[in-house]
Amino acid sequence: MLGTLPGALVALLAHCGWLDEQVALALFVPSFVGLNAMHMAATWSRVYLAPGFAAERPIERVAVPFALGAFALTYEALGGAVVLFGVQYYLSLHHGAMQNYGMLRASRRARGIEVGALGARLDQAACLLPLIAALTYRAREVCAEYDAAPIAVPPAELVVALTAAAALAVAAFVARDAADLVRGAPVDALGTAVVLVLTGTWVALLVAVEHPAIPFFALASGHYVQYLWAVGRAERARPHALGLIPERLRAHVHPGRSRLGHLVFLATLGALGISATTLIVLALRATASALALRPDGAMPLAPWGAAMLAVNVHHYWLDHRIWRSAPRAAGARGRGEG
């Protein structure tokens, strides 16, 4: 919950004119470059460095994510960056909202609170719909482009329908918790705060801050901190985590042995992944240009930015799938927070 505050504060100061926008963007650099690469690497290490985890479901954990990444890289080389940016614009918010939902569900389980299948769907709707409604409103009324790339503008009727659905979901969520409180049933205060405070803060940033990038960097900075905390906590409970790397190195980078070493390892792994993907971007662009397949008016996206875009698409799918079940080596199966 607290991980969102620094980014939200920077966005608020920039919006009010108390902080220069360029200074605000510079303050976000460590998160949208460094923390982003680390949070991607946290997923990679969990999947590809855990014995048997990738082999357990090779289609959804290897074939599909790499195919999505390859498609994004190829399509960008052919001049499709504008479309890919628009897709990422929506997927990133869905991804963050579902992580908030995972936090809420984990908090409820930790307190032994069961809401049933219908209650879980209400929790999900209360986390997801307000952000998607705010995003559609933003794309239509506040800022219809990101980094000079146009965002798909939804019809007004869809914006109104999503806003109404979001309001109903939050009202039903609050009414349920209030009813539980009145009859003396246990109420998860942290889960309620995820919906009312965390989701509310994200919605406010999307609606109020006109700058095309600042609210997304603010939201993303909180998302990265949440993710690194959650994965680090999960990996500390698994002695066999990172089991495919040598024991001598694992002794220094396992999150249960050295949290700082683990973060350094993730930063190194993330940097290597982005660097390698950047080289692929350059090779694909050069090939497309040589074959006259890359249009002259293609969006001038930095090669590392294109690489990050492809890695993001890979990550959205992979992260969405891996949290649905625990590794077989951990001796646990079943639904996860995702």
Q: How far apart are CA 119 and CA 113, in angstroms?
A: 11
* Mean model confidence pLDDT for the chain: 89
State pLDDT tens for residues 235-279.
888 777 898 899 889 889 998 889 899 999 999 999 999 999 999
Evaluate if residue 27 carries a pLDDT over 50. yes
Q: How confident is the model at residue 325 (pLDDT cuts 50, 70, 90)?
A: low
Q: Which pTM value belongs to this model?
A: 0.85
Q: Which residues, in sequence order, are CB contacts of 194 under 8 Å at separation 6+?
A: 1, 100, 103, 104, 107, 127
Question: What is the dihedral angle through the alpha carbons of 162, 93, 311, 209, rounded to the nearest 10 degrees?
Answer: 120
- Tokens representing 85 are 């940016």
Phi, psi (degrees; rounded to nearest 5) at 187:
-120, 135
State pLDDT tens for residues 95-109.
999 999 988 998 898
pLDDT at 233: 86
Evaluate if residue 330 carries a pLDDT over 80. no
The mean per-residue pLDDT over the stretch 108-136 comes to 92
More confident residue, 324 or 219: 219
